[in-house]
Structures are given as C-alpha cells and as structure tokens.
Structure 1
Amino acid sequence: MRTHCPHCNGPCTIRKTTQVSSTYREVTLTCNNTDCGYVFVASVSPVRTLSPSSIPDPDVNIPISTHIDRRALVKALSE
C-alpha cells in the first residue's frame, strides 16, 4: 500500500498496523520527508466486493460492487 503525506505530498512508510475488527484496520504511517516529520493513523476497510471469497465468513457483509453482473455471479456460484 502506498500513500502520500497529506501535508507535503511526500511518500510515507507504514510503521504499525492494528487489526481492530475483521473488516477494519488502523495503520500508523510516517512521512519520509525529514523536514515534514508528520506521523498519522489511517484506516483501512473494505468498501465493496469485486470478486467474492471462495470461503466466505457469514459474519462479514461487504456489498458487491454495482458494476458486477449479479445474474452472472449467481449463475457462476451455483455451478
């Protein structure tokens, strides 16, 4: 995962990750620009499903992307 500093737009390095739940992770990042030195926490969370899991967890509900052909998906999963 690459991200840039929201202040100086320099590259950042991930220093720590914390799994908060099965669908939410917090990531601590540090700006690589020593003149900036910004340290921050970002969140990572699934937003939509592009390809469903072959071993889905019934407790995880992430919506299917609107660009997916649902009829074709249902057909493929039923085969």
Structure 2
Amino acid sequence: MSTYKLVCPHCQGPLRIRTSAGQHVFLRTAYLQCGNESCGATFRAQFEITHEMSPSGMPNPSVRLPVAPVSIRREAMRKPDDAQLDLLEAHA
C-alpha cells in the first residue's frame, strides 16, 4: 500500500483521502479532508497516470502510455530536499 504525502494548502496540516472513484484506468478522482480539526478544509483532486517510467514485466497490450522523457526520469531519481541522511551516506 502506498502513502501519499498530501498537505493542506491552508494550514499545512496532513490531508487524508476520504473516498475515491476510478474514472478511467489512468484517472482517479479523490475527495480529501484536512486532518487539522481547527482547519477542516475539504478538497477534490484527480490522480492521473501520464507516463511509463519503466516497462512492465507483465505488459497489457491495451495499455499504451508514452515513455517518460529523460528529464522526468531524472527528476524521479533525485533525492528529496530534506535533512535526513541516506543510510549509505551516513556510514561513508
């Protein structure tokens, strides 16, 4: 199971997905709620699969997505800008 780090644009509190519905194999609509009780904002969002980053080991012939350009693949490999050290770097 994946976790998404979604942040409320108002109070910066955590957002949770209350419910979601598939619109298409590549598109899902979600309804979000801020976890900060003082804020209580709710939102509608859409999650879309746009590119293939690497090929599937079990390809479905009916799935046709463009391969991500090199710039997108490089961005996915970048480390997040946070203060936490990579486990391997900590022992170097």
What residue number does 2:51 align with?
A: 48
Normalised to the residue count of structure 2, the TM-score between the two structures is 0.65
Percent sequence identity over matched residues? 34
Deviations, residues 13-38 of structure 1 (Å, cap 9, x unaligned): 11111111100001111001111111
Unpaired segments ≥5 residues, structure 1: 69-79
Unpaired segments ≥5 residues, structure 2: 74-92
What residue number does 1:57 align with?
A: 60
Report the alpha carbon displacement of residue 53 of structure 1 after superposing the two structures with TM: 1.7
**Aligned to 1:32, which of 18, 32, 35?**
35
Moved more, 10-19 or 50-59: 50-59
In structure 1, C-alpha distance between the alignment counterparts of 2:57 and 2:49, rounded to whole Å: 17
State the number of aligned residues. Answer: 68
Q: CA RMSD in A?
A: 1.5
Normalised to the residue count of structure 1, the TM-score between the two structures is 0.74
**Aligned to 2:13, which of 4, 10, 13?**
10
Q: Which consecutive aligned stretches of 4+ in structure 1 deviate over 2 angstroms post-superposition?
A: 54-61
